[in-house]
Amino acid sequence: MSRADLAAGKVIRMSLPFRVQHLLLAILLTVLAVTGFALMYHENSLAQWLIRMEGGVHNRGIVHRIAAVLLMANLVHHVFYMLFSREGKPELRQLFITKRDIDDFLQSLRYNLGTATEYPPFGRYGYKEKFQYWGAAAGIVLISLTGLMLWGEEFSMRLFPKFVLDLAIIIHGYQGLLAFLVLFLWHLYNVHLHPSVFPMNPSWITGKVSVEWLREEHPLEYEKLKEEGVL
């Protein structure tokens, strides 16, 4: 964290490697959604237009698979980064869901409903970030596995009967829809419409958030930085 940032009241929340991983994930998920839903809803005229834009149903599949391979590579890289890099290891530790997150969630519910007086203070990652992170990770793993099964359908059919592949299609499509809707809505609220960040939390591009915002939304992280003498 540079002195200039601190002087301007900013702290780094997303380092460059994470910003790159996040941006790649965002672009690839968008490509996968556009090519995937065009096939899933092929009777829709917008979907048909999309398939034409994507160069026909065959090229659509190629684009979808290239994006999928890049996404899986991004995921593998991320796993290694979180497990073995100097920056990743402490991040991963802070992302584990603990009993405290469940309590925080219930506490915030009670607070929001008016039966509790204290809103739970969050550390670097609150329950919202953690649920989103692990939900997306599980979703991507599931959708990657079913996608690989469908890609190598002749190999899959050697191992599984036909109805397993039918199941894979169902899971792949619906899981994609679920992930897309959750990511869309969740980001729309937490990154754009949430009053503390409206119109957008720029940290996914600049990596920085204001010290004021950190104190408000992640007070425990703020305290910690203060104790460490960073702030």
**Angle at 148 (CA atoms; ends 130, 185), nearest 5 degrees:** 35
Q: Which is nearer to other proteins, 195 or 199 (CB)?
A: 195
Rule CB under 8 A: say whether 39 interacts with other proteins.
Answer: yes
Q: Which is nearer to other proteins, 39 or 137 (CB)?
A: 39
- CA-closest candidate to residue 31, choices 78, 79, 65: 65
Cβ atoms within 10 Å of 39's Cβ, excluding its own: 16
Binder of other proteins out of 42, 100, 192, 226 (CB under 8 A): 42
Number of residues that bind other proteins (CB under 8 A): 37
Q: Which is nearer to other proteins, 19 or 128 (CB)?
A: 128
Residue type, 168: A
Rule CB under 8 A: say whether 192 interacts with other proteins.
Answer: no
- Binding pattern to other proteins, positions 164-183, x when CB under 8 A? x-xx--xx--xx-xx--xx-
**Longest CA–CA separation in the chain, Å:** 64
- Complete DSSP assignment for 162-175: HHHHHHHHHHHHHH
Where does this chain touch other proteins (CB under 8 A) — which range of 87-95, 138-146, 151-159, 199-207? Answer: 151-159
Q: Which is nearer to other proteins, 114 or 199 (CB)?
A: 114
Please report, as residue ranges, which positions from 57 to 116 form the binding site for other proteins (by CB under 8 A).
57-58, 108-109, 111-114
Q: With contact defined as beta carbons under 8 Å apart, do 18 and 82 qualify? A: no
For 23, 65, 102, 131, 147, the CA distances from 98, given in Å and listed in that order, are 28, 36, 7, 11, 31
Q: Which is nearer to other proteins, 166 or 212 (CB)?
A: 166
Cβ atoms within 10 Å of 69's Cβ, excluding its own: 15
Residue 123 phi, psi (nearest 5): -85, -150
Torsion of CA 165, 65, 141, 35, to 10 degrees: -90
Rule CB under 8 A: say whether 160 interacts with other proteins.
Answer: yes
- Binding pattern to other proteins, positions 110-149, x when CB under 8 A? -xxxx----x------------------------------
Give strand pairing partners of 209: 11
- Report the interface residues with other proteins, using CB under 8 A: 39, 42, 51, 56-58, 108-109, 111-114, 119, 153-154, 157-164, 166-167, 170-171, 174-175, 177-178, 181-182, 185-186, 189, 195
